[in-house]
Amino acid sequence: MKKRIIVIGGSAAGPKAASRARRLDENAEITIFQKASDLSMASCGYPYYVGGLFDDRSQLLCSPAGVVRDAKFFWNAKKINTKVLTEVTSIDRKQKKIEFTDLTTGETGTAAYDKLVIATGSNARKPPVPGVELEGITTLQSLSDADYLRKIRDEGVIKKAVVIGGGLIGIETLEALHFAGIDITLVELLPQLLTFLDKHMARLVEKYVQTKANVILQNGVASFLGENGKLKAVKLQDGTEIPCDLAVVAIGVTPNNKLAKEAGLNIGETGGILVDEYMQTSDPDIYAIGDCVEIPHLITHKPVHAPFGDLANLQGRVAGENLIAGNVVKFPGTIQTGICKVFDYGVGSTGLSEQNALKLGYTNIETVVNASLDKPGFMNGNLLITKLVADKQTGKILGAQVIGPGDVSKQVAIWAMAIKGNFSVDDMVNADLPYAPPFSLAIDHSIATAHIMQNKLKGLFTGISAEQLKDKLKNRDPMLLLDVRNPNEFEETRLGIGERLIPLGQLRNRLGELPEDKNREIITWCKISLRGYEAALILQANGYSNVKVLEGGIAAWPWSRQK
Ligand SMILES: Cc1cc2nc3c(=O)[nH]c(=O)nc-3n(C[C@H](O)[C@H](O)[C@H](O)COP(=O)(O)OP(=O)(O)OC[C@H]3O[C@@H](n4cnc5c(N)ncnc54)[C@H](O)[C@@H]3O)c2cc1C
């Protein structure tokens, strides 16, 4: 008998599961019910469409070969029946059927299944404050949101907007609206942007974003103010009013678990539908995938809601195979790898940040910050700044954050695989990565980062983070601050925190200028702290016992500089 498969949700995870099922069973009857009017939308591409990086909207719906994935495509290419603008309103698990409403005609109907897949995605949060229903307030969650914002861009009338929320989507929206020539204020409730980053790394991003938009931290929306039903200003909790005609709310998403909950399926502690490693729910005939589920974090083993497009597709593939073949393939979980483009910067992370690790009770950790180019200067190399987190005892890599105009994606991918493979720092120090000048340094930035971490773990390198140095400055600790760059570099830019300049090449001959007290704390740095490290070694060899290198040097200093 033909297997009847129903998939609820037709964007990322749902169609992937349906397509995989079709590839494994030519005879199954497969139907996708989709509430929205389109199928297989590339939501991750919305910000770039809004910002005008491309103009052809249909590209958001295309297969990699450039074919629009509409109902005809699904039927002709995959023999998958699709019902768009059709909302599934309930699941009857006893009778194994669903109830649906055609949103165009209002007609209702039922359909029977042998296996059901729930891929209903997530809902964008909105702040429960007065005025939230005014015209001019939107999220960037659906294709119709993207259409709305793209229209605003094309009309060019709106000149001021507020983006609420400094997460991935908030930042991507900020970029898109900036490209549309709109003046933007970003408002974030927390003391930092992009909470997957440690504060210091986030501060570097914030400093960069501030060159493009006004950024307000630690302030939330109190209300939206309007005139004649239209947004006119955003009022913040501290009373500030920001005049604007557009506000984009990007304060996170929650799993769309409504159908599953009403059907009595088990829901997890994050609100995501509870699934096992086969993506099977508490009902063996129902699978759930994508943004609507919770999955295990592979480092902490705690459940997380991880609303990422790549994970949705991978889970779809697993569920598609399992519902045809019986539970034969597994989706193990996530290490929460993510990346976003922030103008000319990439910003990405994988695994645990230092802040998260500490919050989760990992006390025995070590971190390093490394700044260097992604490839040689003669190949127009660009800066990368990486913060690596490892277990002090075992050297096991726990997390990496990478930012900068360099090739961030490659770096994050390397660390993601290292974490997935359970690698320690020692496994990474001689990693055999591809090298040629157009692509990398002879010792890739990732491996150099592992070298610094290994030195630190062996006690061969003592670093100090920018934040620790800032604290010491606040406490007026009696330190000698030593910039070891060349005078012309020093003239061009310097931290201006009371440092002395002794170029590395002169250091051995000018030791007499240093304090006689060999226990005096000395902090050394240069542009990226490679020369700073060499200076520290010279000082240590000459008996100075308390020398630290400012990690990442001037490049990773997230506060203002004197020049
Ligand atoms: C602006 C934006 C940028 C993003 N950028 C990235 C990125 O760069 N990288 C990344 O990894 N992820 C990114 N994401 C997240 C990624 O898009 C999601 O993780 C992914 O789309 C989730 O897929 P899904 O199939 O689970 O849910 P969705 O894509 O949300 O699809 C769910 C579908 O279910 C339908 N549906 C809901 N309820 C019903 C019902 N009752 N009946 C019928 N149909 C229903 C909805 O209409 C919807 O189309 C981004 C998301 C957005 C919005």
Residue 560 clears pLDDT 90, i.e. is over it: no
* Ligand 1 near 549 CB (within 6 A): no
DSSP string, 495-556: --SS-EE--HHHHGGGGGGS-S-TTSEEEEE-SSSHHHHHHHHHHHHTT---EEEETTGGGG
The pLDDT of residue 477? 82
**pTM of the predicted structure, to 2 decimals:** 0.95
Q: What is the largest CA-CA distance in the chain?
A: 90
The pLDDT of residue 272? 98
pLDDT digits (tens, 9 = 90+) for 102-135: 999 999 999 999 999 999 999 999 999 999 999 9
Q: Which atom of ligand 1 lies at the shortest distance from residue 259's CA?
A: 41
DSSP letter, residue 76: H
Residue 563 clears pLDDT 80, i.e. is over it: no
Q: How far away, in angstroms, is 13 Cα from ligand 1 center?
A: 8
Q: How far away, in angstroms, is 39 Cα from ligand 1 center?
A: 11
Q: Pick from 171, 291, 336 the residue to mutate for probing ligand 1's pocket: most ligand atoms within 8 Å of its CB.
A: 291
Q: How far away, in angstroms, is 305 Cα from ligand 1 center?
A: 13
Q: How far away, in angstroms, is 134 Cα from ligand 1 center?
A: 25
- The fraction of the chain above a pLDDT of 70, given in percent, is 100
- The fraction of the chain above a pLDDT of 90, given in percent, is 98
* Ligand 1 near 312 CB (within 6 A): yes
The pLDDT of residue 438? 97
Residue with tokens 């983006």, as numbered in its chain? 163
Going by C-alpha positions, the residue among 258, 226, 230 that lies closest to residue 241 is: 226
Confidence of residue 1 (pLDDT cuts 50, 70, 90): confident
pLDDT digits (tens, 9 = 90+) for 191-214: 999 999 999 999 999 999 999 999
In three-state secondary structure terms, 367 is strand
| Lateral strand order in the sheet of 4-8 | 80-83, 29-33, 4-8, 115-118, 286-288
Q: What is the mean pLDDT of residues 522-540?
A: 96
* Ligand 1 near 315 CB (within 6 A): no
Which tokens go with 313?
A: 């597709």
Give the C-alpha separation, 58 to 474, whole Å. 55
Q: How far away, in angstroms, is 118 Cα from ligand 1 center?
A: 12
